[in-house]
Amino acid sequence: MNAEAEQIKISARLQSLWWLTLVIRDGRSVNDILAHSQVDPSESAFAKQMLFGSLRYYHQLKAILDQLIEKPLKQKDLDIYAILLLGVYQLRYLSVPDHAALSESVELTRKIKKSWATGLVNGILRNYQRQLSVIEKRLSKAKTFQFSHPNWMIDQLAVDWPEDYQQLLIANNQRAPMVIRVNRQKSSLDDYLKQLEAVGVSASTHSLATDALILDTACDVYQLPGFEQGLVSVQDAAAQLVVDLLDLKPGLKVLDGCAAPGGKTTHILQRQPDVALTSVEISAKRLEKISQTLQRLDIENHCQLKCADILALDDWWDGQRFDRILIDVPCSAVGVIRRNPDIKLHRKKTDLINIVSLQAKILNKVWSLLKPGGRLVYATCSIFKDENEGQMARFIENNSANPVRLEPEIDRQMMSHSDIGCQIFPGEAQMDGFYLCGLVKPA
């Protein structure tokens, strides 16, 4: 490796250290961190690989370090702990030479002006090399080590999916493909595939989501032909199925009740531009991003954006009921851990009670806004039953609601794991873990 390339890797390691420290010390989300990042492209790929890899295997790496660190580090020294996580990750999973992983980990202590820790970092990482087989044998039966998830999450998935939970945990630790949605108002899939081929990007159509293309290799969105002109958007294939279940028709009055980040709002308008769409989002910052996306796609005049709490009807509702309602409700997001491995660190078992309660409140509130004969689509990016099939079963028991599934040509290809609605597991048909259920209000 020449000196310039080596310097890039050192800088990338330092960037990944800053990012990882923000996650484990300050509780920041990866999405938020990367949204405000201005990393040189030459450093970005390796830095992100280090960040995502160390988070993906955080619980496994932590179990290893628990065997090696005699005295817990202080809160103010969690950056040193992050260096150790990155060091063990490189030694265990990356093809970088061991001596480089060791020397650069030690160098990071100097770069953050904590030279006192050089010996500590060097000693712990070398001990890991020496004791590797002993540590692995000692931890081999611990599920947290095996699957690199918190124990509570493993236990909950085992209760919900006793036959499948191990495969779910394994799938959560895989990388998710980059999936894009073609704007059918501006291009066909075949035409856009040709545009991708012209710039050397390989992709294929999706078996279920008819507007989706799966890229063979992820790339920067600005490398996609016509991205800034609104030809494509990034959206997982599972989330794209929502518009099919909405059964959109011209002239319908439609509500997107939890609109951020805006993928489904824009997909609704691209699939059926002749609807009267209202999109509600509680966060002004996230609503502004939806507005920017609408402008990029040149459909900003087709949607009423409301910055409000969906539950506070007096703040946004005009009293006119809707023909179609989509609520992609706040959830645990355990179905998208492949894309957001920091969820495994941030989400707590105690969160679920409040999440499920909020989902039920939103569901009951917006049901009153639906016209008789209208259709509501409930969606989450979770694979916990209580948020999905359980939530629907409780609602149907207490309300006059008739569940509906996707159109037969799509539904018969699905591998739904739910008796009510459609539960998708992470990785199935190259999709995220996702749940969607349609409910029709009796006329």
The residue behind tokens 């873990």 is 433
The residue behind tokens 């100097």 is 110
**Residue extent(s) of CATH 3.40.50.150 domains in the chain:** 237-440
- Residue 3 banded pLDDT, cuts 50, 70, 90: very low
Calculate the alpha carbon distances from 190 to 210, 211, 228 in Å: 12, 11, 20
Q: Please tell me the predicted confidence (pLDDT) of residue 415.
A: 72
- CA–CA dist 150, 308 (Å, integer): 34
- Residue 19 banded pLDDT, cuts 50, 70, 90: very high
Does residue 255 have a pLDDT over 90? yes
Does residue 93 have a pLDDT over 60? yes
Q: Please tell me the predicted confidence (pLDDT) of residue 436.
A: 96
- Report pLDDT digits (tens) over 204-252: 999 999 999 999 999 989 999 999 999 999 999 999 999 999 999 999 9
Contacts within 8 Å (CB) and 24+ apart, 287-293:
287/259, 287/260, 289/260, 289/261, 289/262, 290/259, 290/260, 290/261, 290/262, 290/265, 293/233, 293/261, 293/262, 293/266
Q: How many helices (H) and strands (E) does the chain have?
A: 19, 12
- Residue 21 banded pLDDT, cuts 50, 70, 90: very high
Calculate the alpha carbon distances from 30 to 26, 341, 368 in Å: 11, 8, 36
**Residue extent(s) of CATH 3.30.70.1170 domains in the chain:** 179-234
3-144 under CATH 3.30.70.20, yes or no: no
Q: Please tell me the predicted confidence (pLDDT) of residue 132.
A: 93
Task: Report the share of the chain in percent with pLDDT over 70.
Answer: 97
CATH number (3.90.640.10, 3.40.50.150, 3.30.360.10, 3.40.50.880) of 237-440 reads 3.40.50.150
Catalytic residue among 258, 303, 381, 422: 381
The class of domain 179-234 in CATH terms is: alpha beta
- Report pLDDT digits (tens) over 294-347: 999 989 888 999 999 999 999 999 999 999 999 999 999 999 999 999 999 999
Q: Please tell me the predicted confidence (pLDDT) of residue 7.
A: 47
Phi and psi torsions of 281, nearest 5°: -145, 135
Residue 386 in 3-state DSSP? helix
Q: Please tell me the predicted confidence (pLDDT) of residue 4.
A: 41
Residue 126: HSE in the Cβ half-sphere, 13 Å Cα cutoff: 9
- Residue 52 banded pLDDT, cuts 50, 70, 90: very high
Task: Report the share of the chain in percent with pLDDT over 90.
Answer: 87
Average pLDDT rounded to a whole number, residues 99-121: 95
| pTM of the complete model | 0.93
Calculate the alpha carbon distances from 205 to 196, 399, 405 in Å: 12, 39, 23
Does residue 39 have a pLDDT over 60? yes
Q: Which residue has the higher pLDDT, 2 or 14?
A: 14
- CA–CA dist 327, 362 (Å, integer): 8
Does residue 37 have a pLDDT over 80? no
According to DSSP, the residues that pair with 233 across neighbouring strands are 181
Q: Please tell me the predicted confidence (pLDDT) of residue 2.
A: 42
- Residue 42 banded pLDDT, cuts 50, 70, 90: low
- CA–CA dist 8, 162 (Å, integer): 46
According to DSSP, the residues that pair with 254 across neighbouring strands are 277, 324
- Residue 154 banded pLDDT, cuts 50, 70, 90: very high
- CA–CA dist 278, 385 (Å, integer): 29
According to DSSP, the residues that pair with 307 across neighbouring strands are 281
Element (H, E) at 375: strand 370-380
**Residue extent(s) of CATH 1.10.940.10 domains in the chain:** 3-144
- Name, in order, each residue with C-beta under 8 angstroms of 44's C-beta and a sequence gap of 6 or more: 12
Pairing relation of β-strands 253-256 and 232-234? unpaired
Does residue 377 have a pLDDT over 70? yes
Q: Which residue has the higher pLDDT, 306 or 35?
A: 306
- What is residue 229's DSSP assignment? T
- CA–CA dist 274, 268 (Å, integer): 10
- Is 258 assigned a catalytic role? no
